[in-house]
Amino acid sequence: MTQSTATTGVTGVLEQSDPSGDIDGWIGADPNDSGHGGSTEDAVADGGAPKVSRPPRAARLLPGAVAAGIYLAISVALWWGAWSTHPSTSTTCGCGDASRYLWFLEWPAYALTHGHNVLYSQWMFHPTGLNLLDDTSVLAFGIVLAPVTWLFGPIASLNTASTLIPVLSALSMFWLLRRWVSWAPAAFVGGLLFGFSPFILNGLVTGWLNIMLAVPPLIVGCLDELCVGRRRRRPGAVGAALGVLLAVQFFISTETLAITVVTAGIGMVVVGLYAAVFHFGELRRQARRIASGLGVAAGVAFALLAYPLWFALAGPAHLRGLVWPAITPGYYGAVLSEFFRLAGTAQATVAQRRYGGYQGTSLHQAEYVGVALAVVLIAGVLLWWRDRRLWLLAFLEVAAIALCLAPFTWANHFWVPWRILAHIPVVQNILPIRFAAMVYLAAAVMLGIIVDHTRTSSLQLIVRVRTAARGRSHSVPPIWPRLVAGVVALAVALTALVPIAATYAGNIPLTMEPVVLPEWFQTVGPHLPAGHVVLTYPAAFGGIPAPMAWQAVDKMSFALVGGDGPASVAQRAGAERPGFTVLADATFSLDPATAFLPSTVTKVHRAIAGWGTTLVVIPDQPNLPRYDQGNHTAYAVGLITLALGVGPQYRAQAWTWTVGPTISPSVQIDPTAFRLCVGTTNYRPGPPQTVPDCVLGRRG
């Protein structure tokens, strides 16, 4: 590889050096600048030093435009089931966590047009409300996509976001790699691995928009420019951009922001220690620039996030303590073998189809890297051991894998970092498995650099052979060395990527489902007068959050009792906790009828009053998807009848009770009589009102 003199600054910290001490200057450089270590194409073609001239702006943007087009085509192919049919009515599933994100996309659009606070809503968890900054509310998406929501509804916004997230994440990685590689296809390969990784696609089929990873590579690029790269831009400008990126990530996912900061902090400590030992003088000269840039970043981030941070920590309906009190910190992590071995998904598929989730064949685990990719990365580090970038990234890769490992899993019987982190406030709320995002970030950068090295080394070898043969009559045309080197490099890329791509077999395009609303929510719900508070069965807080999707598609025409997410845990239900627990169990448990007691009626009665409920709605529609139905509709109809002391109306295939300011006294019934009324196998939906009449006729 062509050697050049070392650039000034902390560049030498990570630059590769040969035995003579010369340094290859590439860190943070534009691939088209002279002195870029990877720009050897003209050199090897001409047998001399590189001759690089900066191409026109359009030519520099062309590789990114081509990459964006290919990424978009792949993503549209994945979501073709929605885009080729009804993107405003069908998505991966209008159930499970996707229901939550339909709500999170609808709320900002509704709030902006009705003068409400986008950070807080009483339309869910009425009357306490929901602090959206304490949940995975992806406000950045909700606000940006508000025009789509206004025009086409939240389902169209969910499909738009799900299609764009892999594209934007891949493009972000492509941009980062273009700082460090000379061959655009190498950057494309890294972007492809990152944007369409199992981590992102597994999240998206579940409806998780918060796994958007377009910002972390941009943060890494800013840190590279500020601390390690060629530093062609003023530290204040880079710091300001870094501060804005931190703020944007805050409104996408505070968890990913924390994970990115932790990982970047580890990387900066490693670089700083290396610089302090081997380049202390240069580090001291550049310390002021680095400190000023980081100071500006901190100032900009604080200015943008001071109020949102206060709102999240002390605003209305904010959460205290652990986000998930019933879950041991560090519990949701990985087992080391799962990074390299595919786990079974049949059981997960059955659960998703019943209770709400992706209705196609389940994708494999989000942390799966595969043996082939691991071998390519290890071989690349060993072959190009002088490249200090690869050593740093390999260290971060190992660190991120270690941070993914759950401390309380039998398979991880060895010590893991989460045995300490699980006791640190705020950090303990991170799910260890989410560090897989950084596993793929490091892997994608390493793969891009290794593919670039492969092409450059292959080109050098071919040119040496060609140079030796120049005296012969049948010399090789200049274009063939580049083509052959490119094929070799792409073969390495395919070796790493194909096993991962194979895990998506049977899921292209992804399975899409129409978002089915019960008839009552299609015909009656959207026309309710303002001020209604609706309690549904299944209860939105009972593990089947489909009512959130019904409310979102109905344009927030009513407030909802309860909801899903960390605010839905029983510990936060307040005085209504006893009734909350009864209805949650009735929604999800296997046989709620066996749990009926006379005290159950009183608990539900008091909870309905405490929530300020004006309507109770129980869809009784046999053609609803199973994941939109509670476990035992007859039980719920009988229980609500007793709790309110009056029978319901049957309208639009739903049992409804209108609840006035003064609720009628509840009715008691013997548990044995109740079980006879609700039955277990012979219940039929709709009138005649056999269950309500039966329980009221047996009142004590």
Q: Is the pLDDT of residue 596 over 50?
A: yes
Query: Which among 336, 339, 333 has a CA at the least distance from the CA of 406?
Result: 333
- Per-residue pLDDT at 689: 67
Q: Is 514 helix (H, G, I), strand (E, B) or coil?
A: strand
Query: Which among 563, 467, 567 has a CA at the least distance from the CA of 47?
Result: 467
Question: 172: number of CA atoms within 13 Å, CB side?
Answer: 22
Q: Which residue has the tokens 């929901």?
A: 130
Query: Which among 453, 482, 484, 475 has a CA at the least distance from the CA of 45?
Result: 482
Residue 99 belongs to a domain: no
Rounded mean pLDDT of 356-372? 86
Bridge partners, residue 619, by sequence: 654
Bridge partners, residue 121, by sequence: 130
Measured N-to-C along each axis, helices 198-206 and 154-178 cross at an angle, to the nearest 10 degrees, of 170
Q: Is the pLDDT of residue 52 over 60?
A: no
User: What sign does the CA torsion over 303, 305, 308, 309 have?
Assistant: negative
CA distances, 368 to each of 337, 442, 451, 501, 602 (Å): 9, 14, 21, 11, 49
User: What sign does the CA torsion over 624, 625, 629, 633 have?
Assistant: positive
Taking the C-alpha atoms of residue 236 and residue 289, their distance in angstroms, rounded to an integer, is 9
Q: How confident is the model at residue 51 (pLDDT cuts 50, 70, 90)?
A: very low
Rounded mean pLDDT of 14-37? 32
Residue 68 belongs to a domain: no
Percent of the chain scoring above 90 in pLDDT: 62
- Per-residue pLDDT at 660: 87
The tens digit of pLDDT for each residue in 271-298 reads 999 888 888 888 888 888 899 999 999 9
- Per-residue pLDDT at 74: 96
Tokens of 368: 């799966």
Q: Is the pLDDT of residue 53 over 60?
A: no
Q: How confident is the model at residue 322 (pLDDT cuts 50, 70, 90)?
A: confident
Largest CA distance in the chain: 109
Taking the C-alpha atoms of residue 241 and residue 132, their distance in angstroms, rounded to an integer, is 25
The tens digit of pLDDT for each residue in 489-523 reads 999 999 999 999 998 877 889 999 999 999 999 99
Q: How confident is the model at residue 465 (pLDDT cuts 50, 70, 90)?
A: confident
Amino acid identity of 102? Answer: L
Taking the C-alpha atoms of residue 420 and residue 408, their distance in angstroms, rounded to an integer, is 12
Residue 262 belongs to a domain: no
- Per-residue pLDDT at 381: 97
Write the CB contacts of 279 (distance below 8 Å, at least 6 apart in sequence): 10, 12, 13
Ramachandran bin of 559, using left for φ above 0, alpha for ψ from -120 to 50, beta for the remaining angles: beta
Better pLDDT: 93 or 684: 93
Residue 555 belongs to a domain: yes
Residue 302 belongs to a domain: no
Taking the C-alpha atoms of residue 486 and residue 24, their distance in angstroms, rounded to an integer, is 22
Rounded mean pLDDT of 239-261? 96
Tokens of 301: 């981030």
| Angle, alpha carbons 658-664-668 (nearest 5°) | 115
The tens digit of pLDDT for each residue in 633-679 reads 889 999 999 999 999 999 999 999 999 888 888 888 888 888 888 87
Tokens of 330: 């560090």
Tell me how long the chain is: 700
Q: Is the pLDDT of residue 129 over 80?
A: yes
- pLDDT, the chain, mean: 86
Rounded mean pLDDT of 92-117? 95
Taking the C-alpha atoms of residue 24 and residue 2, their distance in angstroms, rounded to an integer, is 8
- Per-residue pLDDT at 286: 84
User: What sign does the CA torsion over 374, 375, 379, 382 have?
Assistant: positive
Q: How confident is the model at residue 49 (pLDDT cuts 50, 70, 90)?
A: very low
Taking the C-alpha atoms of residue 561 and residue 569, their distance in angstroms, rounded to an integer, is 14
CB 100 within 8 A of CB 141: no
- Per-residue pLDDT at 600: 92
Rounded mean pLDDT of 357-365? 81
- Per-residue pLDDT at 230: 65
Domain of 673? 519-697
Query: Total structural domains in the chain?
Result: 1
Taking the C-alpha atoms of residue 656 and residue 620, their distance in angstroms, rounded to an integer, is 10
CB 679 within 8 A of CB 633: no
Residue 636 belongs to a domain: yes
Percent of the chain scoring above 70 in pLDDT: 87
Our separate counts of H helices and E strands in the chain read 26, 11
Better pLDDT: 422 or 178: 178
Instruction: Look up the pTM and report it.
Output: 0.89
Residue 662 belongs to a domain: yes
Rounded mean pLDDT of 161-171? 98
